[in-house]
Amino acid sequence: MRSPADRRIPWERVARGVALAIVALVLLRTVLAPDAAAVPAVHVDATDDLSAQARDSLVARARAGDAVTWSGEVAAIATVAEPLRDPSARTTILAVSDGALALGDSLGAIDSLPAGGGAITASGLRGPVRVGEGRTGASAAAPMPSTPGRVLVLGRVGWESKFTIAALEEAGWSVDARLRLSDTVRLTQGDARTQALGAQAVVVALDTALGAEASALLRFVRAGGGLVLSGEAAGAPSLAGVAPARPGTRQEGGQGAFDAQEPLQALPLRPLGSLRAESVVLERREGTITVAARRVAAGRVVQAGYDETWRWRMQGGASGARDHREWWSHLVAAASGAPTDGGRGTRAGTGALPVGSLDGSAPRATLVQRLGPAVSVAPPTPPAPRALPAWLGIITLILLVAEWASRRARGAA
Amino acid sequence: MPDFTFATAQYDSGDWDSAPMVPANIIDSVARYTGIDVASVGAIVPLGSRDLFKYPLVYLTGHLPVRFSDAERSTLKEFCARGGLLFIDDHNHDVDGQFHRTAWEEVARAVGPLKDLPNDHALFKAFFRFPDGPPTTSHELNGWGDNLVHKHLQAVLEGDRIAILYSSKDYSSEWNYHPDNKRFLSVDNTKFGVNLVVYALSR
């Protein structure tokens, strides 16, 4: 006959089994539960204008394998700041956006732009240029002003040469000149060392009688120099090979156009036609091409069909002298090489963004490029394993203690 | 269209046309010595009209007192600011004369005071060399007018460029003859006129 102690043995086994089952359940949940920590998920709301550092951090986490997503209302704005390639030390700020934009730098507001964006020119910028639409901001480094090279004017003694030189000098360019007075006499301006081609960034040719200089000019352009062809030089046969277009027959300017405040209409013009495929149009007058440009090897050539532009300065309206000066300075700047800004600024149309730090010039584009498109809602995060009820632990402990006490009471090991 | 047309200023007061042969003589010399495409006939331009701006070098002379109208004064001021050069020559060769006194006053009122131009200025080597400054005229050497040989020309500068050039040397008398008569001169006395034109066209 079994003693009462022996009759507890099945209960002891039941208690042990239940306790072991509970422990096994805990272990099983631990092993089979989804490992949320193995692939951390990060989701940010970018509405509040993420800093460049914050974006850098997110991209770093994404590259490290984390699941990084973003959402929020980030306006599609972009900005770029580039120095004007003339001596004015001014910077052109271009910005695009669907909404109105406010522009500023570290000193405060500069200007505003309407919806769609546009460009403004500013000087004396301090710190990065910042463009904002609503709560979204974009910024671009304010580039160092470019250092323009020297300009050589080749022409004949006359009003066009004189006032072209004057306009460029007043705009801040360092100008050398070689002017033909007769077949054998040339008047020079500037240091003799700077008269040689190659010492300048840009050559302005106003005369057709270039002679042996024409072939030197071609070499100069192919080696990276800038060339402006204007006046009679726009149709110089010796330079036709590098000219962006072919000038047509000279048309006299409109009588009275100076009085009508339309000075360009008053100037004689050789319309530019037969544009080369790679040429770009820089200026038109009532549908007629007046200024065009093209690249030639490493250099650039700008061709202007106008003649006697000095009349603009002398006979133009109240702003005639200033407009003539700026027009010539822009022509020369267009022919000069691109500015070097140490790669700090971003460039429109350069394709992929730099691999290094994310700049803030186009925050939405940067986020999409690096982190993918915005998600409409935050992705569900895997639920954390629910903790077992505390009473299960207490029961397990009671069962184990009871089983142990029962065994001890009946003298079992 | 020629590159250069010699223009004479016509002003309301005085006798602006007192040296009618000067333009033809200077035109002849410019064509003779340089390759500048010069108009064979000069132009006469009212000092107070907008046509003044078609001729960035303008010559003005006379014997009589000069009084610019408001329009002439303002046009001349703008002309100089835009890059024009007005050459004024005292046809009296007399620093005590009425032309001299009134012209100086008008220039000072319109543009600024006249000051001596250094004799090593670029004007004196723009084409021919004049190491001693402005060439003397026979009228100075003959003791006519103020009986002085003027050592300097005077000028109003815009930056380093001459905007107004003033002469008491009476080049208007010196150059006022038919160009064909140059063959009777041992030295062409209009060479300084060529310098003036070349300077204006190149500086």
- Which three-class secondary structure string do you get for A24-81? HHHHHHHHHCCCCCCCCEEEEEHHHCCCHHHHHHHHHHHHCCCEEEEECCCCCCEEEE
Determine which of A146-155, A305-314, A383-392, B193-202 has the lowest per-residue pLDDT on average.
A383-392
The conformational region for residue A179 under phi > 0 = left, psi -120 to 50 = alpha, else beta, is beta
CA distance B149 to B131: 16
A181·B127 Cβ contact <8 A: yes
A306-359 per-position pLDDT tens digit: 999 999 999 998 999 999 999 999 999 999 864 433 333 333 333 333 333 345
Hey, which residues does B156 pair with through a beta bridge?
A: B164
Q: Which residues contact A114 (CB under 8 A, 6 or more apart)?
A: A100
**Is residue A55 pLDDT above 90, yes or no?**
no
Asked if B166 contacts B155 with a C-beta cutoff of 8 angstroms, the reply is yes
Q: Using pLDDT thresholds of 50, 70 and 90, give the confidence band for residue A34.
A: low
Could you please report the per-residue DSSP string of A302-367?
Answer: EEE-B--THHHHHHS-TTHHHHHHHHHHHHHHHHSPPPP-TT-S--TT--SPPSSSPPSSSHHHHH
Q: Residue A38, Cβ neighbours under 10 Å: how many?
A: 7
pLDDT at A84: 78
At residue A303, φ and ψ (nearest 5 deg) are -125, 125
The verdict on ipTM greater than 0.90 is: yes
Minimal Cβ distance to A162: which of B1, B81, B202: B202
B83·A187 Cβ contact <8 A: no
Average pLDDT, chain A: 83
pLDDT at B112: 97
Cα A245 versus chain centre, distance = 30
CA distance B172 to B180: 17
pLDDT at A352: 35
Q: Token pair of B93, please?
A: 């060769």
Which amino acid is it at A356? G
How close, in Å, is residue A308 to chain B by CA atoms? 9
B34·A185 Cβ contact <8 A: yes
Best to test chain B binding among A157, A161, A252, A307 (most B CBs inside 10 Å): A157
**Is residue A289 pLDDT above 50, yes or no?**
yes
CA distance A68 to A47: 16
DSSP state letter for A236: -
B35·A166 Cβ contact <8 A: no
B35·A181 Cβ contact <8 A: yes
* Run means of pLDDT, 10 residues per run, chain B, 203 residues: 94 95 98 96 97 98 96 98 98 92 97 98 97 93 85 96 97 96 92 98 95
Polymer length in residues for chain B: 203
How close, in Å, is residue B123 to chain A by CA atoms? 13
pLDDT at B91: 95
CA distance A150 to A152: 7
A185·B203 Cβ contact <8 A: no
Residues of B in contact with A162 (CB under 8 A): 56, 83, 200-203
pLDDT at A340: 36
Asked if A336 contacts A200 with a C-beta cutoff of 8 angstroms, the reply is no
A180·B35 Cβ contact <8 A: yes
Determine which of A176-190, A309-323, A373-387 has the lowest per-residue pLDDT on average.
A373-387
List the 58-117 stretch of B: residues with Cβ below 8 A of A. 81-84
CA distance A126 to A341: 15
pLDDT at A386: 66
Residue boundaries of the structural domains of chain B: 7-202
pLDDT at A406: 84
Stronger pLDDT, B143 or A48, i.e. the higher one? B143
- Among residues B25, B23, B20, B38, which one has the least CA distance to residue B185? B25
Question: End-to-end CA distance of chain B, in Å?
Answer: 21
Asked if A310 contacts A163 with a C-beta cutoff of 8 angstroms, the reply is yes
**A150-159 burial, b for 16+ CB within 10 Å, e for fewer?**
bbbbbbbbbb
pLDDT at A98: 85
How close, in Å, is residue B108 to chain A by CA atoms? 22
User: Hey, is the C-beta of A207 within 8 angstroms of any chain B C-beta?
Assistant: no
A320·B1 Cβ contact <8 A: no
Hey, which residues does A303 pair with through a beta bridge?
A: A229, A292
CA distance A120 to A135: 22
Could you please report the per-residue DSSP string of B39-72?
Answer: -SS-EEEETTSGGGGG-SEEEEEESS-----HHH
From the options 3.30.390.30, 3.40.50.1010, 3.40.50.12140, 3.90.1150.10, give the CATH code of B7-202. 3.40.50.12140
CA distance A397 to A392: 9
Angle at A183 between CA A180 and CA A189, to 5 degrees: 25
Percent of chain A with pLDDT over 90: 34
A157·B198 Cβ contact <8 A: yes
Determine which of A83-87, A274-278, A303-307, A341-345 has the lowest per-residue pLDDT on average.
A341-345
CA distance A81 to A61: 30
Residue of B nearest to A259 (CA): B50
- Among residues A52, A90, A58, which one has the least CA distance to residue A71? A58
Q: Which residues contact A159 (CB under 8 A, 6 or more apart)?
A: A308, A310, B3, B4, B56, B201
pLDDT at A350: 32
| A-B Cβ pairs (cutoff 8 Å, strict) | 67
- Among residues B121, B145, B126, B147, which one has the least CA distance to residue B193? B126
For strand B43-46 and strand A202-205, is the pairing parallel, antiparallel, or unpaired?
unpaired
